[in-house]
Amino acid sequence: MKIKRAFLFPGQGAQVIGMGKDIYEKYEEAKKVYEEVERISKMPIKQICFEGSEEKLNKTGNTQIAIFTTSMAIVNVLKNKGIKADIATGLSLGEYTALVYAGILDFAQAVKLIQKRGFYMENLIPKESYEMAAVIGLDSKIIEEVCRKISKEGKFIAPANYNYSEQTVISGNENAIEEAIIKLKEIGAKKVVKLKTSGPFHTIKLLKAKEEYEKELKDIDFKINQHTKVIKNIDGMFYNSGDNIKEVLANHIISPVRFDKAIHLMQEQGINEFVEIGPGKTLTGFIKKEDKDAKLVNISDVNTLEQYIIEREENKIEGKN
């Protein structure tokens, strides 16, 4: 059976100290990515990724560019080995890695954009206390209705991430999240787990960040590439020539992530191998919940990278790909 492959790129929250270090040390094309990002951004990316501290790595302004660099370093090794994807997508920040991989967004421009995006998302948040929680085992429509009812009481709460059909992440004021947890459990949620991330990302509370970021997008050129399709976070559909990509990426900051729809679209397109490139196993974890038989691959270090390359070579010999 011919392999139809999707590359998946993680977003904020997947970061870990030391990510990419062994790949940087072994592969020249990976090393070049780190060097280029440092040159363009004037940030010590190697130090942030390889040495930490955790506090430094976890700052949104550092996290986003660090994860992007790590994923790009790995995917460049794969490209040089002739391993390509039919579809690319990512979670939030990961969408930028997908756009660069597909040739829709220039690498240097992406570095500058991600640097600004991370800065605005870290610094242009209202000075209030926010929490996020993952709701498991409840239909998203029911969760939306609960959020609407609590919002009518003058509190802020909204869905921020639709991860897969059985998990939706909500964001809001501390008291609104507490109220939602009680109500959602009462009406049948299997589990509601508070997350370490506390910013109201992908909600209207980041409107100021979106408005500032729009200015950064003004002079960026995007080129739709039909060879590799990229799935948008805001609606789970493919980018196409009719899209205003600047508008899409600006609205992305205040709009919930629809990774649930991206999963369904990849299934409809006949994807039979899902390869998550970068730190963590979040996205393949979501896919496994929807399709227990899916072929899932995680590439985050030299061992997983080389194991995958060897497997692909064996498949070529057998005529699978």
Q: Phi/psi at 180 (nearest 5 deg)?
A: -65, -40
- Whether the Cβ atoms of residue 137 and residue 272 lie closer than 8 Å to each other: no
Tokens 């057998």 found at: 318
- Which residues are tagged catalytic? 92, 202
pLDDT at 43 over 90: yes
The confidence score (pLDDT) of residue 321 equals 62
- The model's pLDDT over 237-281, given as tens digits with 9 standing for 90+, comes to 999 989 999 999 999 999 999 999 999 999 999 999 999 999 999
d(CA 123, CA 252): 17
- The model's pLDDT over 102-118, given as tens digits with 9 standing for 90+, comes to 999 999 999 999 999 99
Domain borders along the chain are: 5-124+205-317, 130-199
Q: Of the ranges 183-192, 198-207, 220-229, 259-268, which one carries the lowest mean pLDDT score? A: 220-229
Q: Which amino acid is at 38?
A: E
Check: CATH 3.30.70.250 for 130-199?
A: yes
pLDDT at 1 over 80: no
DSSP β-ladder status, 130-136 and 191-194:
antiparallel
The confidence score (pLDDT) of residue 284 equals 98
Q: Do domains 5-124+205-317 and 130-199 have the same CATH topology?
A: no
Query: What is this structure's pTM?
Result: 0.95
**CATH topology assigned to domain 5-124+205-317:** Malonyl-Coenzyme A Acyl Carrier Protein; domain 2 (3.40.366)
